[in-house]
Amino acid sequence: MLSVSDAEAIILNLVQPLDDQRDTEVVDLLAADSRILARPITSSLDFPHWDNSAMDGYAARYEDVQHSSTEKPAVLEIVEEIPAGYQPKSTIQTGQAARIFTGAVLPAGADTIVMQEKTRQEDKRVFILDAPKPQEFVRHKAAFYQAGTQLLPAGIKLNAPEIAVLAAAQCSQLRVYRRPRVAIFSTGDELLAIDQPLQPGQIVDSNQYAIAALVRQTGAEPLILGIVKDDPVALEMSITHAIAIADLVISSGGVSVGDYDYVDKILESLQAKIHIRAVQITPGKPLTVATFPTQNSALYFGLPGNPAAVLVTFWRFVLPAIKKLSGISEGWGPVFLKVRSHDELRSHGQRETYLWGKLHLIDGVHEFHKAGGSHSSGNLINLAQTNALAVLPIGKTLISPQEEVLVLQLSNG
Ligand code: AMP
Ligand code: MG
């Protein structure tokens, strides 16, 4: 059986990122947050666009003010007032200064800003009470970014900082990757749609909702295909439809060894190449990953049916795949932190074991608190509020309270 890290490597190797030409669209900057930039951005503007002041104060010539002190202040004639947004008219000559405000353009002749707090103004004269450093508080043209060089690379997710940069560079529209399409369906004769009356033996198909939420959080578009019976014909139709409309397919249930677990058999009959059938992970051992070399580039994830297994295998294996698919150029894998465990953590030691819970910050140190109640893969109730998974490697059967443990941090928490 494959180790978790081998399975992860196989999966990432199978993922073909969206095409940076065909699989893109143009969006308005206001609608671009969380999208993935498809082209590098270059600006024809320098940042700052011109020399300007970083302070409210006085623009002067350094040579005029370099020996100033409270006892022997330089006294300069104020020849102009330059608020932000105005183009200065004068050139500062020896013995002159301009009143200037933060962000305003540095006038010609001046090379240094004396901050207001180090001055005293009397009518049209300013007394410089302290010597500034040469060029102090001047933000020089192009000091932050030089026109024509790369402003942002392709393959990054656009969050508030990048959006601010793009706005400042006057990119009101930009080319991003389209959202990956992820088809989702649930398999099982016991499953019931959310709004139907529950009969003995039935449970609500909660996986569909969980997976749709997880997919949406990645920025991908969930295509919700509903419940499919444990029936080979129905399954074949659903899989065929799903791989035709989606970049990635996620089913839950039907991948174990039970008599009604048909997914792998149907995949084989559709000439899929099954890359993974099981992984050394708890929960989530019966995990199927397949591609369809004779049909298209869709990647198929058959997750086990148990709700905890669905979440754990999604976070561990599907999320990195969706990230790579979406055009993000790096950082697909999960983030692991070494933290202190608040609780005793146990595993049978046979497989890499994931226990769900919450990370708390105690006196500046992260501490993992295991969710109370059963860690059976069939229990979904105590999954609520999970923001981290503690990982016990194969062979590790016990982590005592206060011992260190590796946790997978979930970004939704
Ligand atoms: P399976 O992997 O098909 O053997 O399913 C294992 C168990 O997971 C089932 O007995 C159900 O209790 C549960 N299960 C399967 N599918 C779902 C679903 N869509 N929503 C909630 N629970 C499910
Ligand atoms: Mg089933």
Please tell me the residue having the least CA distance from ligand 1 atom 5.
Answer: 305
Give the pLDDT of residue 377. Answer: 82
Q: Which of 311, 232, 297, 296 is nearest to 267 (CA)?
A: 232
Mutate to test the pocket of ligand 1, among 185, 189, 190 (most ligand atoms within 8 A of CB): 190
Which residues in the chain are classed under CATH 2.40.340.10? 335-409
Cα separation of 127 and 122, whole Å? Answer: 8
Residue 412 has pLDDT above 90, yes or no: no
CA–centroid distance, 325 to ligand 2, in Å, is 28
Which residues in the chain are classed under CATH 3.40.980.10? 4-18+178-325
Q: What is the pLDDT of residues 255-302, one digit of tens each?
A: 988 998 999 999 999 999 999 999 999 999 999 999 999 999 999 999
Residue 413 has pLDDT above 50, yes or no: no
E strands within 286-377? 288-292, 296-303, 335-341, 345-346, 352-362, 365-370
CA–centroid distance, 161 to ligand 2, in Å, is 45
Residue 378 has pLDDT above 90, yes or no: no
Q: Which of 66, 61, 60, 52 is nearest to 121 (CA)?
A: 60
Q: What is the pLDDT of residues 53-109, one digit of tens each?
A: 999 999 999 999 999 999 999 999 999 999 999 999 999 999 999 999 999 999 999
Distances in whole angstroms, Cα of residue 34 to Cα of each of 29, 90, 166, 181, 322: 11, 46, 14, 16, 14
Other beta carbons within 10 Å of 247 = 26
Cβ–ligand 1 contact at 171 (below 6 Å): no
25-47+144-177 homologous superfamily: Molybdopterin biosynthesis moea protein, domain 2 (3.90.105.10)
How much is the average pLDDT of 330-352? 96
CA–centroid distance, 322 to ligand 1, in Å, is 23
Residue 227: nearest ligand to its CA?
A: 1
Give the pLDDT of residue 260. Answer: 86
Mean pLDDT over the full length of the chain: 97
How much is the average pLDDT of 234-256? 97
Cβ–ligand 1 contact at 302 (below 6 Å): no
Which residues in the chain are classed under CATH 2.170.190.11? 52-139
Are 132 and 112 in contact by the 8 Å Cβ rule? The answer is yes
pTM higher than 0.75 for the full model? yes
Cβ–ligand 1 contact at 186 (below 6 Å): yes
Cβ–ligand 1 contact at 313 (below 6 Å): no
Cβ–ligand 1 contact at 284 (below 6 Å): no
Which residues in the chain are classed under CATH 3.90.105.10? 25-47+144-177
Query: Is residue 135 very low, low, confident or very high in pLDDT (cuts 50, 70, 90)?
Result: very high
How much is the average pLDDT of 110-133? 97
Handedness of CA 380, 383, 389, 391 (dihedral sign): negative
Query: Is residue 8 very low, low, confident or very high in pLDDT (cuts 50, 70, 90)?
Result: very high
Ligand 1: atom nearest CA of 253 is 3
Ligand 1: atom nearest CA of 208 is 19
E strands within 72-129? 74-82, 96-100, 112-115, 119-122, 125-128
- Domain 4-18+178-325 -> CATH class: alpha beta
Cβ–ligand 1 contact at 191 (below 6 Å): yes
Cβ–ligand 1 contact at 206 (below 6 Å): yes
- Give me the count of residues in the chain: 413
335-409 homologous superfamily: MoeA, C-terminal, domain IV (2.40.340.10)
Specify whether domain 52-139 bears CATH 2.170.190.11: yes
Query: Is residue 411 very low, low, confident or very high in pLDDT (cuts 50, 70, 90)?
Result: confident
How much is the average pLDDT of 168-193? 98
